[in-house]
Structure 1
């Protein structure tokens, strides 16, 4: 009996350490501020919005539309290289020539977006309103998708 208790006491710290989540993944809870809630509730895909903004430490400090837009631009710009690499990999591995042509056009359009991210930051900081340039970019993307969809 005494031996089993001493073994238990010896292994107890290891059991405790193996059960603790040191990175806080299991303990992490979305921090949904009123600004994030308002933005996500009015978005086309609220769940995705909550996942992205609720898990972003900087977005949680955004107190108005301006702050939130700036955070989103920085997030998109920082993910640009990773997304570019993925699109390039898909394009270079595609065997269907029609799809490959579409992917190349998408890749070209995405390369052009890099300067748009920089311009959006400048526009936001100088004018404080992103609605017109964002709508223009969305219309540009929509028209390119429609033009490319006639290839099938």
Structure 2
């Protein structure tokens, strides 16, 4: 159960999201705004959105992403490299964190991705030598 402070923060987040995404109907603009707002609200440096292709058989990295501009030039550069490396992947249902979340329709949290042996994360992180720990996957529950 949420305490009153958590409930208030959740309501504020939802109101901010609603105000921001109501200004456009373009999917990538909505996703970009959502990533920015959510990442800023939980103090995360990076967010990206994976979306199913029209036939629903694979996930592709969308053009929408977020990097915290308050980070150092080196950190921003590392995250931009991570983004570039991510563009090489196409994921099937159940494969990688995005694929598992898509299949299960349930959020998943990885506390220390560097200890995880998944090819997607390891290859992408290794691609540019970035070490980040916390990862979460989430899905729009309206999609099936």
TM bucket (normalised to shorter chain) is under 0.3
Which of the two has greater helix per residue?
1
Larger radius of gyration: 1
